[in-house]
């Protein structure tokens, strides 16, 4: 594979893939935060 194709692929798929994956983490964790809300009783545990 030539260097230009390699560089463009890494930038597009690499950066996009990282952003997308962390976006998915963000979404799942937001949902889990709502599904398992913090309760005051947890303090001190």
Partner 1 sequence: MSEAIWGGIQGLISGFANLHWSNPIMIGIGCLLLYLGIKKDFEPLLLVPIGFGAILVNIPLAGLMEEEGFLRIIYDAGIMTELFPLLIFVGIGAMTDFGPLLENPKIFLLGAAGQFGIFLTLALALALGFPQRDAVAIGIIGACDGPTAIYVTSKYAPHLLGAVSVAAYSYMSLVPVIQPPIMRLLTNEEERKINMGVVRKSVSKTTKLLFPLVVTVIGGLIAPRGLPLLGTIMLGNLMKECGVVGRLTKAAENEIPNIVTLLLGISIGATMDGRIFLKPQTLIVLGLGFLAICLDTACGVLFGKVMKVLTGGKINPLIGAAGISAYPMSARVVQREGQKYNPKNYLLMHAMGANTGGQVGSVMAAAVMLSVLKGMGVI
The C-alpha atoms of residue 32 and residue 36 are separated, in whole angstroms, by 6
Question: Quick check: 44 binds partner 1 (CB under 8 A)?
Answer: no
The C-alpha atoms of residue 30 and residue 23 are separated, in whole angstroms, by 11
Q: How far is CA 2 from the centre of its chain?
A: 30
- Binding string, residues 4-43; x marks residues near partner 1 by CB under 8 A: --xxxxxx-xxx-xxx-xxxxxxxxxx-xx--xxxx--xx
How many CA atoms, within 13 angstroms, populate the side-chain half-sphere of residue 37?
3
Q: At closest approach, how far in Å is the CB of 31 from partner 1?
A: 9
Total binding residues toward partner 1, as defined by CB under 8 A: 33
Chain residues in the site for partner 1 (CB under 8 A): 1, 3, 6-11, 13-15, 17-19, 21-30, 32-33, 36-39, 42-43, 45
């Amino acid at each position: 594979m030539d260097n230009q194709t390699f560089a463009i692929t890494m930038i597009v798929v690499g950066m996009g893939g990282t952003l997308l994956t962390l976006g998915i983490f963000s979404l799942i964790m937001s949902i889990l935060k709502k599904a398992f809300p913090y309760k005051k009783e947890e303090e001190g545990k």
